[in-house]
Structure formats: C-alpha cells, structure tokens
Amino acid sequence: MDMSYTPEQIAFRDEVRRFIAGAMPPEIRHKAENGGHYEHAETMQWHRILHQKGWSAPHWPKEVGGAGWDSAQRHIFSEEMVRANAPSLSPFGLTMVGPLIIQFGTDEQKQRFLPKILSGEEVWCQGYSEPNSGSDLASLQLRAEKEGDDYILNGQKTWTSHAQYADWIFVLARTSAAGKQQEGISFLLADLKNTPGVEVKPFMTIGGTLAFSETWFDNARVPQANRVGPENQGWTMAKALLGHERTSIGGVAESSRLLNMVRRIARDTRVGGKTLMEDATFRRRLARLEIRLRTVGMANLRTLASAQLGHAPGPESSILKIAGTEVQQEITELAMDAMGHNAMGWYDSPTDAMPEYQLWMASNFNYLRASTIYGGSNEIQKNIISKMILGLPPS
C-alpha cells in the first residue's frame, strides 16, 4: 500500500484541518487542549456539527446521506480528528446498526432510521449480551413472541453500554426454540424511550462511571416491521454487525490519543533531574507501543480498503479486535507508570486540583480492563481465527 499522499489528498487533509479548527466550540476546544473527558452532551454537540458539514458518517455511501469518502479520505479524517483531540462519536448508530440497515433493511427502515442516526437526533445502544449469554451469545433467552402485528418481548439484557442516553436499542431475541440455537434468533429494533415495559438500570463500573446498564423487557411490544432481515435469521445480522463492532473496537484513534497523552506526560514529568522522555528504558517501552499501534493501524487500513471494495468485515476483524484492545490496555499501563502518584487523581476531584488529563487517567485505566472482554472476548476471537483463518477443528 502506497502511504504517501497525493496533492489531492493533501488538499483534502488541509480542508479537514481548517474545518475542525474553525468549528470546534470553545468548551470542547478547552477540553481538547487539556486532555479533558467529553460528556455525552458534548459528544452529541460535536456529532451535530459534523452532520451539518455532511461528515458525521464518512463510511456511509452518499445515496443514504454519508460522505461517500474512499478509504484514504477516511483515514485522513480520522488522523485529523485524533490530531485535534476532537470527541469520538458514539459507534452504535453510525458504525454498527446503521451499516446493517443499509445492507439488510427494508426501504421503509432506511427512510425511517438512517436520517436520524446521521443527524444524531436519535441515539442508539446495543442489546446483545445477557446475564448468562455473553461470549456464548447463541444461548440468549430474551423471548419475542408474535401477537398480531407485534412481537412481545420478555427477558433481560446486560452490559448495555450508555443505554441511559439512548432513544433506540437493537436486540437479538429468540423467536423460535426449534433447531440449532443460532437458527431461532431474530434482529429487532426497539424504541427504548416510548415502549411500555422497557426499563433501563445503569450500574457503576470499576472505572466509577455509569457506562453500562441492565435493560429489562416486561411484555414490551415491538412492531414486526422493526425486524431487520428474515425471522429466525438474526444470527446472520449478528455476525455482520459484530464484524463492524470489532473493527471499531480495534480503537486505533483512541489509542493514538492515549499515546499522544503519554508523550505529553513524559515530557512534563521530571525524574532525577531529567524528563521521563529522556529516560532510555521509558523510550523503549514507548517505541515498542508505537510500533504495535502502527501495526494495528495498518491492519485497520486493510479492513477499510476491503470495505471500500464492498466486502463485509471478515475474520480479520477478530485479529484487529485482539491486537487493538491489548495495545489499548498496555498504553494505559504505561501512562499510569509514567504518572506515578499523579495517577491517584479521580474524575470527581476538584478541577483546579490537577491538570484535566490526570482526572480521568485512572478511571480510564480501570474501564479499559473490560476491552478484552466486551465485543466478544479475545478468547472467542482466537477460536474464530483458528477456525476461519487457520482451518483448525473446533476446540
């Protein structure tokens, strides 16, 4: 792959850079410059700003409202977003269910849902995992029984990320007990805010935030028209969406932000009369992570290039998920080592007590311990690689 930019791509990069610099509101710019944490409202504010420019969905085709950019343009845009430390948009609508509706949805579903995903008017969350069906997703028990034109949903989902902010949820539900477990599942879209019988209960994570929720369905009525794809063939939808999710979970942009923060910490931290950045041992750890992150970045580019040719994410997304999440965790470990006692800060500390980036580092370190588990644990990804890429028999 030729990684040098053409004059047209350099002009595009400059356009993106100018736009970000001019469009970023003062409060977001302050957090960007000081490594602060973006709340949901700020992320959605940035989403709407990008939508007004037509840039909220770089990977969607133009005919459904996306930017229609090629893989190089998307890579440049991502680079510039990281460079500016701009907020990362929520992936559940734009990166996960949106592409699935584009691929498998009816014309009515595309007209109903895609514009409001693009604009950020409706926020989405994912209802896959259940208390006894995490990595073994096919064992899920949320029931969806037909009654008239609706399904009646009963059961529970868990680890529903940011459900307290969401207007809609996409769920996998059991619509048949016949055949293999994977054959009786359907993919449904449910109005989270206006459906009687749906209750969201956020719970505290080890990072000290309400990032996850339990979501309960008690005779909740969902129109059959909200089923994506054929009944009992939701497993096909699930696999397609998980491929998109694992690609995004690779987290190249977020890891790049974190690594930039580590460099800043190392430059600002003095040990024994010199900065930490001047320490040879620290520089070797930093260089090793930079090399690993570049490798993950190249794997991500290959996935983007494949998608540009119309290919859905395949088992290579499992490689990206494993490598990306391991790098994420190692970067936060390096950051914590570099900060030393300064890592004792917490997000609810007084904002004038320490630099903003110190407030969230420990919380982020704790939260990212889950990254090798969510989106399909890394052990499950290794099984997929052994079967789909290496051709080994099931374990």
Rounded distance between C-alpha atoms, residue 376 and residue 15, angstroms: 37
Rounded distance between C-alpha atoms, residue 332 and residue 391, angstroms: 34
Rounded distance between C-alpha atoms, residue 123 and residue 113, angstroms: 11
pLDDT at 63: 95
Rounded distance between C-alpha atoms, residue 44 and residue 235, angstroms: 31
Q: Which of 80, 122, 130, 245 is catalytic?
A: 245
Burial of 6 (C-beta count, 10 Å sphere; 0-12/13-18/19+): exposed
Rounded distance between C-alpha atoms, residue 92 and residue 43, angstroms: 13
The pair phi, psi for residue 51, each rounded to 5°, is -65, -40
Written as six digits, the tokens of 179 are 């055949």
Report residues of the chain scoring pLDDT below 70.
Answer: 1-3, 247, 249, 308, 310, 312-313, 395
Query: In 10 A of CB 72, how many CB atoms?
Result: 21
Burial of 24 (C-beta count, 10 Å sphere; 0-12/13-18/19+): buried
Rounded distance between C-alpha atoms, residue 261 and residue 289, angstroms: 13
Q: What is the pTM of this model?
A: 0.87
Specify whether 245 is catalytic.
yes
pLDDT at 254: 86
CB contact at 8 A, 370 and 388: no
pLDDT at 395: 63
